[in-house]
């Protein structure tokens, strides 16, 4: 019933795979309110909703790219971060973001944004996780700050997403303009929050979703810049999400060591 409500709200097509020779009676009764067809051919079901499986060629001015190529995106540099923003418990209408302590994330090119959206839609059907990765790409926010967003923090009129930071670890509470390619993910997350009241306190990532979020990004072959070959640690091929954070911490420790006063005699 929740899935049918999601279908009615978003207009998406659903394919239900039933691992039985016949539909159960309860499912058959629920489907009476929906326009549906039954098929024993999964490939036929795909063609019914998505058309033929003929390859889609890129535009003439866009070279073909391998689908397994990693998208290395600097906006994901802070996804794993040591900051600890505090969410706002009272109503908060923050102003547009002003990047005071960090560089703003570079906007994705139209080609990269289209590819990122395609990959996210292909690797996960979870609205919150897909929206969280999308939000990280246009905000450059950390996982902890993404977790401060509540369903009311997406404004469909101004098309802005509010993230909170009462302790001002970064730039304080601020709203971020949502680019056109990411709006469908934010709208889906809002719909999901309405349909799942038990999980609706979080619009994007929840406090225990860090691992799931990183796995979604890796499944979509998206990662932050990686260390040079000689500086890599851990198993070969493993994505190092905290390389930038560790590099900054090491620079900070080195600075403290250089300026440490000698012990008094």
pLDDT digits (tens, 9 = 90+) for 161-197: 999 988 777 778 999 999 999 999 999 999 988 887 6
Instruction: Determine phi and psi for 96, rounding to 5 degrees.
Output: -60, 150
Helix axis angle, 183-195 relative to 127-139, nearest 10°? 140
CB 160: neighbour CB atoms within 10 A?
18
Confidence tier at 90 by pLDDT (50, 70, 90): confident
pLDDT at 133 over 80: yes
> Which candidate, 150, 119, 125, 123, places its Cα nearest to that of 137?
119
What contacts 239, CB < 8 A, 6 or more positions away?
Answer: 214, 218, 223, 226
Residue 148 vs residue 81, higher pLDDT: 148
The pTM assigned to this predicted structure is: 0.72
Cα 250 versus chain centre, distance: 29
- Among 20-24, 38-42, 46-50, 208-212, top mean pLDDT goes to 208-212
Bridging pattern class, strands 160-163 and 222-223? unpaired
CB 87, CB 150: distance < 8 Å: yes
CB 120: neighbour CB atoms within 10 A?
24
Rounded Cα–Cα distance for residues 76 and 222 (Å)? 9
Which pLDDT value is given to residue 55?
44
* Mean pLDDT of all residues belonging to the chain: 82
Of 32-36, 55-59, 118-122, 223-227, which gets the smallest average pLDDT? 55-59
Q: How far separated are the first and last CA of the chain, in Å rounded? A: 77
Which pLDDT value is given to residue 212?
94
Averaged pLDDT, 25-35: 83
pLDDT at 52 over 80: no
Three-point CA angle 196, 17, 213, nearest 5°:
45
Helix locations, the chain, DSSP H: 2-10, 25-30, 42-50, 110-123, 127-139, 143-146, 183-195, 210-219, 243-258
pLDDT at 51 over 60: no
> Which candidate, 50, 51, 40, places its Cα nearest to that of 16?
40
Residue 19 vs residue 44, higher pLDDT: 19
Helix (H, G, I), strand (E, B) or coil at 93: coil
Which pLDDT value is given to residue 203?
93
Cα 1 versus chain centre, distance: 26
């Amino acid at each position: 019933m929740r899935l049918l409500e999601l279908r009615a709200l978003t207009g998406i097509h659903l394919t239900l795979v039933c691992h039985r020779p016949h539909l159960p009676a309860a499912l058959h009764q629920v489907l009476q309110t929906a326009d549906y067809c039954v098929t024993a051919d999964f490939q036929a079901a795909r063609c019914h909703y998505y058309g033929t499986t003929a390859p889609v060629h890129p535009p003439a001015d866009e070279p073909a790219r391998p689908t397994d190529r990693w998208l290395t995106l600097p906006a994901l540099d802070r996804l794993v971060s040591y900051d600890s923003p505090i969410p706002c418990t009272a109503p908060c209408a923050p102003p547009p973001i002003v990047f005071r302590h960090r560089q703003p994330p570079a906007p994705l090119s139209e080609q990269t944004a289209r590819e990122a959206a395609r990959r996210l839609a292909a690797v996960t059907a979870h609205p919150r996780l897909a929206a969280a990765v999308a939000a990280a790409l246009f905000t450059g926010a950390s996982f902890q700050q993404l977790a401060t967003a509540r369903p009311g923090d997406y404004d469909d009129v101004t098309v802005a997403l509010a993230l909170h930071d009462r302790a001002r670890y970064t730039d304080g509470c601020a709203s971020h303009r949502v680019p056109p390619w990411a709006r469908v993910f934010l709208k889906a997350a809002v719909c999901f929050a309405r349909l799942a009241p038990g999980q609706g306190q979080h619009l994007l990532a929840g406090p225990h979703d860090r691992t799931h979020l990183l796995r979604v990004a890796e499944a979509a072959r998206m990662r932050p810049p990686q260390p040079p070959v000689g500086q890599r640690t851990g198993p070969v091929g493993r994505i190092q999400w905290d390389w930038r954070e560790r590099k900054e911490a090491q620079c900070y420790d080195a600075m403290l060591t250089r300026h440490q006063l000698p012990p008094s005699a």
